[in-house]
């Protein structure tokens, strides 16, 4: 412990405003090289904080790799004589390509932006935007330095791509967390609905009415001459029954259950969800984030009796308007019977 106590982190050699470059040359602390690698050091500190706040393992790992690259970059800028850079890891084209690959892959998955956006809707994204602005400043200093001394093209390209990389990651953090919040909202509604049904002892209602519900669907589908598939799910989203009419398109056997599941999960007709998943809306990309288990086109309706969601119906096989009409017909019929006191089929 005595040895550690005797060691000082200050040397007093910089008290007159001078510092040493890598190799020993003494220069002013406002020297272009010092200003540049000092800003890179500032950027690295911001990257460290961004990595701690990032909410995905991939982003944390990528930011850690970039942090190491900042050490290599600062060391190169701090070395005035190229011959003394032997053994120092340098930024290469592969480093530039790695940033470009992340940028391209990430931006393809994000909704288009048609105007200015506030820098960060989440804490992790906000910190990434702070790092992005420091990266831009470091790039400006590198360009200024390159007009006086030799700076390798790979370094300038990496600095330019880095700010774009941080912008893309900030948008990814915002978008993913927004989707996660939407998924949590769905889960909360799902559990709430399930809990109501189980506590109220109404979980078997649609099971008792399944045959009649299908008959009402067939009645309306025959009237408008559109063969369909009908699916019923309980309040927990579990299939009670799926029936396909002869002549109904095969895809309807997949879509009808998804419509029913979506309706009971969200507690709204699926055609209403369609408005909320458009680009720029609150639930954009919800369908993708849930692996296709949720759909946003019409034909799915939650079934509410006595103020409780007891399940849902999904109809598929016609146009969106036809599916809505047929499903709604069956739901209205059930509610009429229920209102009249016919609580069992």
pLDDT of residue 208: 83
- CA of 211: how far to CAs of 243, 303, 306, in Å? 10, 15, 21
More confidently predicted of 119 and 219: 219
Q: How confident is the model at residue 199 (pLDDT cuts 50, 70, 90)?
A: very low
Write the pLDDT tens digit of every residue in 9-28: 555 555 456 555 555 566 56
- Segment among 16-30, 160-174, 225-239, 264-278 with least mean pLDDT: 16-30
Write the pLDDT tens digit of every residue in 60-103: 999 999 999 999 998 888 877 666 656 678 899 999 999 999 99
Helices (H), the chain: 2-6, 32-53, 57-77, 93-109, 123-146, 153-200, 205-224, 252-266, 270-276, 286-289, 320-339
- CA of 335: how far to CAs of 24, 237, 307, 310, 330, in Å? 87, 20, 11, 12, 9
Judged against a pLDDT cut of 60, whether residue 339 lies above it is answered with yes
pLDDT of residue 83: 60
- Is this model's pTM higher than 0.75 or not? no
Strands 229-234 and 308-316: antiparallel
Percent of the chain with pLDDT over 70: 74
Judged against a pLDDT cut of 90, whether residue 294 lies above it is answered with no
* Bridge partner residues of 315 (DSSP): 230
pLDDT of residue 74: 87
Query: Mean per-residue pLDDT for 107-132?
Result: 82
Judged against a pLDDT cut of 60, whether residue 215 lies above it is answered with yes
DSSP state of 23: T
Judged against a pLDDT cut of 70, whether residue 129 lies above it is answered with yes
pLDDT of residue 84: 60
CB 251 within 8 A of CB 316: yes
Query: What domains sit in the chain, N to C, each tagged with a CATH number?
Result: 2-178 (1.20.1200.10), 201-339 (3.30.450.150)
CB 93 within 8 A of CB 23: no
Query: Mean per-residue pLDDT for 178-184?
Result: 70
Judged against a pLDDT cut of 60, whether residue 304 lies above it is answered with yes
pLDDT of residue 189: 61
Q: How confident is the model at residue 345 (pLDDT cuts 50, 70, 90)?
A: very low
Q: How confident is the model at residue 198 (pLDDT cuts 50, 70, 90)?
A: very low
- DSSP-derived secondary structure for 239-268: EEEEEE-TT--TTHHHHHHHHHHHHHHHTS
Cα separation, 227 vs 217, whole angstroms: 10
């Amino acid at each position: 412990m005595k040895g550690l106590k005797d060691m000082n982190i200050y040397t007093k050699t910089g008290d007159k405003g001078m510092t040493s470059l890598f190799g020993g040359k003494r220069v002013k602390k406002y020297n272009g090289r010092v200003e540049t690698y000092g800003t890179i050091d500032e950027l690295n500190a911001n990257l460290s904080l961004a990595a701690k706040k990032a909410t995905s393992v991939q982003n944390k790992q990528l930011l850690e790799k970039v942090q190491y690259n900042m050490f290599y970059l600062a060391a190169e800028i701090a070395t005035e004589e190229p011959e003394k850079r032997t053994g120092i890891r340098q930024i290469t084209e592969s480093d530039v390509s790695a940033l470009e690959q992340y940028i391209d892959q990430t931006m393809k998955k994000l909704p288009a932006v048609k105007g200015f956006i506030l820098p960060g809707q989440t804490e992790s994204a906000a910190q990434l935007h702070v790092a992005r602005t420091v990266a831009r400043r470091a790039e400006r200093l590198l360009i200024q330095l390159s007009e006086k001394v030799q700076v390798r093209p790979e370094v300038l390209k990496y600095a330019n791509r880095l700010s774009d990389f941080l912008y893309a990651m900030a948008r990814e953090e915002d978008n993913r967390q927004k989707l996660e919040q939407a998924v949590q909202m769905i889960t909360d509604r799902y559990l709430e609905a399930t809990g109501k049904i189980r506590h109220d002892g109404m979980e078997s209602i649609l099971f008792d009415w399944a045959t009649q519900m299908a008959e009402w669907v067939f009645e309306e589908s025959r009237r408008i001459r559109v063969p369909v598939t009908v699916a019923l799910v309980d309040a927990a989203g579990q299939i009670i029954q799926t029936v396909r009419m002869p002549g109904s398109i095969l895809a309807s056997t997949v879509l009808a259950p998804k419509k029913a599941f979506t309706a009971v999960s969200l507690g709204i007709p699926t055609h209403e969800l369609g408005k909320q998943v458009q680009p720029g809306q609150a639930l954009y990309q919800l369908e993708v984030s849930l692996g296709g288990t949720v759909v946003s086109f019409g034909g799915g309706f939650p079934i509410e009796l006595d103020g409780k969601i007891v399940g849902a119906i999904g109809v598929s096989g016609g146009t969106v308007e036809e599916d809505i009409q047929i499903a709604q017909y069956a739901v209205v019929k059930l509610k009429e019977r229920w209102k009249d006191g016919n609580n069992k089929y």
